[in-house]
Amino acid sequence: MIYAFLNQKGGVGKTTLSIHTAAELALRGRRVLLIDADPQGSALAWSNCRETVDFTVVGMPKATIHKEIEMLAGDYDDVVIDGPPRVTELARSIILAADLVVVPLQPSQMDVWAASETIDLVREANVYKPDIGVCLVINRKIANTAIGRDVRTALKELGVPVLKSDIGQRVAFAETASTGSTVLPKRHSKASKEVKKLVNELRRLR
Ligand SMILES: Nc1ncnc2c1ncn2[C@@H]1O[C@H](COP(=O)(O)OP(=O)(O)OP(=O)(O)O)[C@@H](O)[C@H]1O
Ligand SMILES: [Mg+2]
């Protein structure tokens, strides 16, 4: 299964959720390849700080990913692609490489607009490859806020599935970036449970 975390908006959690999805799948015994397809190289930088080697991380910010993905994915059960911000040929190539495009967004109206543009890109790609799926996941949700609830209503209009598993705004996620770690070792923490739920839901989708 090839998951691509994509949203042209910067800072919505593409890298954080890519890393955590890859790590959670690896923890479940899956052979996982994480492709850092963002020229900023954040996932690669994260993996350079990492002591554990539980999955492979490669950098490949190239608009030929869709042509090479079959060869790259050969030895793995799952591939996770961390996409770049901005709409580019690279973003289009990533969509064509994916089975499921996961669009993270924060609970704000501006993020709803940005997400709709990423969904449009997937629909364009669906002309060539109708079986590419797309779903939305709310990241950095602040518990019990009106905007957290309202955003779901706004997202319904986009006409694509919104995952039930929201990811909360949690310092634990922010801390993992500079340390090459994940929130997963603390299996009973809220952050870890959220990732587990997210990955369960992603796996049920396809
Ligand atoms: N759920 C969360 N709780 C707290 N901090 C978070 C959460 N998700 C992401 N962050 C923090 O927000 C910042 C942006 O996240 P991240 O780098 O994952 O976004 P991105 O979409 O990959 O950004 P870019 O478009 O620049 O690649 C990072 O500092 C990250 O640690
Ligand atoms: Mg990123």
pLDDT in tens, 16-34: 999 999 999 999 999 999 9
Q: Would you list the domain boundaries of the chain?
A: 2-199
Q: What is the pLDDT of residue 198?
A: 98
- Transcribe the chain into DSSP letters: -EEEE--SSTTSSHHHHHHHHHHHHHHTT--EEEEE--TT-HHHHHHHT----SSEEEE---TTHHHHHHHHHTT-SEEEEEPPSS-SHHHHHHHHH-SEEEEEE-SSHHHHHHHHHHHHHHHHHHTT-TT-EEEEEE-SBPTT-HHHHHHHHHHHTTTS-B-S---B--HHHHHHHHHT--STTSTTSHHHHHHHHHHHHHHHH-
Nearest CA to ligand 1 atom 15: 13
Distance 46 CA to ligand 1 centre (A): 12
User: Is a pLDDT exceeding 80 seen at residue 206?
Assistant: no
Verify whether ligand 1 is closer than 6 Å to residue 11 (CB atom): yes
Residue to substitute in 8, 16, 94, 141 for testing ligand 1 pocket (most ligand atoms within 8 angstroms of CB): 16
Q: For 96-110, write each residue's pLDDT tens digit.
A: 999 999 999 999 999
Q: What is the pLDDT of residue 62?
A: 95
Residue to substitute in 6, 7, 15 for testing ligand 1 pocket (most ligand atoms within 8 angstroms of CB): 15
User: Is a pLDDT exceeding 90 seen at residue 165?
Assistant: yes
Average pLDDT on 130-155 reads: 90
Fold of 2-199: Rossmann fold (3.40.50)
Ligand nearest to the CA of 14: 1
